[in-house]
Amino acid sequence: MLRLAVCIIAEKPDQGTRLAAPYPTEKKQGYLYIKPNPDFPDGAYMTWAVGHLCELVSPETYESSWKKWSLQTLPMIPNQFQYQVTKGKWKQFNVIKELVNKKDVGSIIHAGDAGREGELIVRTILNQARCKKPMKRLWISSLTERAVKEGFQSLLEETETRNLYYEAYARSCADWVVGINASRVYTLLFKQKGLQDVFSAGRVQTPTLALVVQREKEIGNFKSEPFWEVKGTFDYNGKIIVGKWINEDQTRLESPEMAQAIAQFCEKKDCLASEVKKERKQYKAPFLYQLSSLQSTANKRYKFSPKKTLDIAQKLYTKGNISYPRSDSSFVTKDEAAEFPSILSKLQKQSSYQEYFPLKRDSLLTDKRFVNAAKVSDHYAIIPTDQVPNLDKLSGDEAKIYDLIARSLLAAHEEASIVDYTTVLTLVDNRALFQSKGQVRIQEGWQRIIPSSQKDEELPPIEKNEQGKVVAAEVTEGKTQPPKRFTEGQLITMMKTAGKHLDDESLEKILKDTEGLGTEATRAGIITMLKDRKYIDVVKNQVFATEKGILLIDSIGNAVLSSPEMTAKWEQRLKQIGSGEASPQAFMESVKKLAAKLTSDAVESSASWDLKDIKIEAQPSKKSLGKKIGTCPLCGSDVLDKGKLFGCSSYAKTNCPFTISKRILGKPISQTNAKKILTDGKSNVIKGLKSKKGTFDAALVWSADEKKLTFEFDKK
C-alpha cells in the first residue's frame, strides 16, 4: 500500500516554523520536511505563503479598453473574477505548487490564520495551483507547542470553514468593484475640474474618513464663548472646603456682572451644609483585551499607532507568548480559563509581577464577565500563554504590549475597586448654592495592578446642617472649548462604534453586531491607508483631515459611499454568507448595481462642484523624495523634500536644524510655498491658520534675525 505524506500550508514563514517546531524536521528551500512521527506517520511537508501570494488581476486583464482611465468605461464589472500570482512572489508560489502536486502527497492541511482572510489566502493559492486533493483545516488560537499538537490531532473538516472562504472571496471581489470604480470616477471628475491627483475611495476607508472630516468641521465651525464661574472657600469649624456656585446643575454664567454680584453677595457670610450625599461605587476589573481595546490602550499609554500595536502583538503571537491577536472577543471558554492558574504561576516568577501575589481569586471558571463560551466567536480574548517570556529579553516595545496583556489577566483575578464619592452642598445666606465634590478609594482592588489616573480628593467630614463661614468668593473666567480631535486609538474605537452615528436603530444594531466599520484585523490598515493617501495627518497623536480628505468627502456629500449605512448592510450580508445563510452570488449582483449607482451619482453631482479656489498639490512620489527645493538660509546647503518635512541636507553632518514643517497650525504647507519661502523669503497668504483665539490668514516669512519662520498677517 502506497504511504502518502501531507502538505501543510501556513500563512507566513515564521508561522510555519512555529507549527513545525514540535516535530523533527529537515530544512529545505521554501519548506520544511517533517519526519515521520505519531502525528504524521508518513511524514509531512510544511510550507507557507508570504501573506497574499495571489491577488485579483488588474482591470485591463478583463478588457484592454479598461487600461485607460475614462468615464466611458465605467462602471467596470467583470463577469468572472480572476486571480494572479502577486509580482515578486512567484518563487514561493512555485514551491507550494510543486509540493501540493507531488505524487507522494495525498492530502492538504490548511494552516492559515483562523479567520476569513486566512481562509482566502490559502484556498486561493490551491485554486491557482489547480490542486484538488482532499483537505482538512487546522484551527488554533495559540502557537504554543501544546496548542499546535492538539490542533493537528483534532483537525476540522474542510467543509466546516468553506463558507468563510466564500465570505472572504465575496468581500474581496466586492471591495475591488467599489474601490476601482469609485476611485476612477472621482479622480477623473476632479481632473476635469483642474485637480491633478489620484483620489482613492472605498467601502471602509471613505466612511472612516468622513468621521474625521466631520470632527474637523465641528472644530472649524466652533465659536468659543466666554463664561464665568464663582468659586467659594468655606470654613466649617476649621475644616476647609472649596466649591463652585451651582444653579440647576449649571456652574457657568454668561454675564461677568452677575458672577461678580454673586461673589460680592457671598463675602464673609454665614453658610450651611444643606446637603451631604455619599455614594459608594464598585468598579469591576476591565474586560480582557480584544485587538481594538489593546490598540486603543497602547495608543493612549504609549502613543503607539494601531498598526504598530498589531505588528508587535503579531510578533508576540508568533513567538508563542500570547494568543491570536486579531481577536474580536473579550471572553474565553472554560478550557482556556482552566489554564489560568498555570499561566499565573509562571507570571509570578517574573520580578515585574511578584508584588501582586497572592491574588484574591484562584479561578475565573464561574465568572461570566470573563468566561462565556457564547461570546467567543472564531477566537477568544488576547491572553498570555503558558509560554511566559523573560520580560528582560523582550524588546522595549514588545515588553510594553506584553505587560498590558499580562496585567489584564492579573487584574481579572482581583477584587473590585471601591470608591466613595462625597458631594457637599453649601448654602450661603439661604440664597447662593455651592457644590463641593470629593472621592476616596475604600478598596484599591484591581487598580493596584492597573493604576487609575484619577487622584483621590478627600473632603473633610462634614455633617448635614453644620454651620460655617465664607472665607473667600472669587470669579474665574473661562472659554468654551471645541471638540477634541481624535487620537489614533480613539479613531479605532470610533470605527468600532460607528453605529452610534446612525439614526436608524436597526442599522445601529447591525453595526453593533458586526463591530462597526471594518474588522479587528483591518482597521489599523485602513488608518494607515488614509495616512498614505494623504487624506489624514497625524501630528502628536492628533488626527487631522487634510484639504484633500475634506474635498473628497464634501464632493461625495450624502452619497451612500461616505455613510456607515452601506458598510452596515454589507457586513451583515457578508456575515450571513460566512454562516451559510446568504448566497454570495446574490450579494455580488447587488454590489454590481451599487457600483453603477455610485458612478452615475458622482457624475451627476459633479455638475454642482465649485472648485475654482481649491488647490490640492499632488503628493510627491517616492522618486521625488530627496528632491532639492531650494537653498538653506542657515548654512547654504540644499533643502530637500524629506517626506514629512522640508529639511537641510547637511543635518546628518553638521546638525543644521533648518526645517519647514508640512503642516503649520492645521494647514498643509505645499512644496510651492516652501520654495517661495526659500527664494523670496515669504510664502503666499495661507488662509484658515488655526490658533487658540480662532482662525486667521497670514503669509509665512523667514526672519534672518530670529532665524525662524514668523507670520505676516493679511492686511485685509
Q: Which are the catalytic amino acids? A: 324
Rounded Cα gap, residues 549 and 213, in angstroms:
7
- Give which of 518, 524, 528 is closest to 497, Cα–Cα: 518
Amino acid 552 reads L
Cα gap 419→282, rounded to integer Å: 7
Helical pair 306-318 and 488-496, crossing angle rounded to 10 deg? 80
CA separation for the pair 595, 573 (Å, rounded): 17
Cα-only R_g, the chain: 31
* Nearest 10 degrees: Cα torsion 646, 652, 656, 662: 20
CB atoms within 10 A of CB 542: 14
Strand spans (E) along 180-330:
226-236, 239-245, 270-283
| 471 vs 146: CA distance, rounded Å | 69
State residue 227 phi and psi, 5-degree precision.
-145, 165
Residue 410: closest CA among 358, 478, 466: 358
> What does each C-alpha distance from 494 to 57, 271, 296, 487, 660 come to in angstroms?
33, 46, 10, 10, 32
Q: What burial class does residue 397 get, using C-beta atoms within 10 Å of its C-beta: 0-12 exposed, 13-18 middle, 19+ buried? A: middle
Cell numbers given for 218: 465641528
* Packing angle of the helix pair 205-221, 547-556 (nearest 10 deg): 110
C-alpha grid cell, residue 125? 493559492
Amino acid at 407: R
**Rounded to 10 degrees, what is the CA torsion of 289, 294, 296, 302?**
140
Pure H helices in 444-546:
488-496, 505-513, 523-532
Strands 5-10 and 105-111: parallel
The distance from CA 255 to its chain's CA centroid, rounded to whole angstroms, is 43
Q: Is residue 653 classed exposed, middle or buried when 0-12, 13-18 and 19+ CB atoms within 10 A define those classes?
A: exposed
| Beta-carbon count within 10 A of 623 CB | 7
> How many Cβ atoms from other residues are within 10 Å of residue 335's Cβ?
10
Q: How much helix, strand and coil, in percent to the nearest 5, is found in the chain?
A: 40, 25, 40
Considering only CA atoms, which of 552, 522, 520, 517 is closest in space to residue 534? 552
- Strand segments, DSSP code E, in 540-635 are 542-545, 628-631
Phi then psi dihedrals of residue 77, to 5 deg: -135, 105
Is-cis flag, bond preceding 451, omega within 30? no
Yes or no: say if 57 and 64 are a contact pair by the CB < 8 Å rule.
no
**Nearest CA to 280 among 83, 418, 463, 436?**
418
Grouping H, G, I as helix, E, B as strand and the rest as coil, residue 652 is helix
Whether cis (ω within 30° of 0) applies to the bond prior to 460 is no
Inter-axis angle of helices 291-302 and 396-412, to 10 degrees?
120
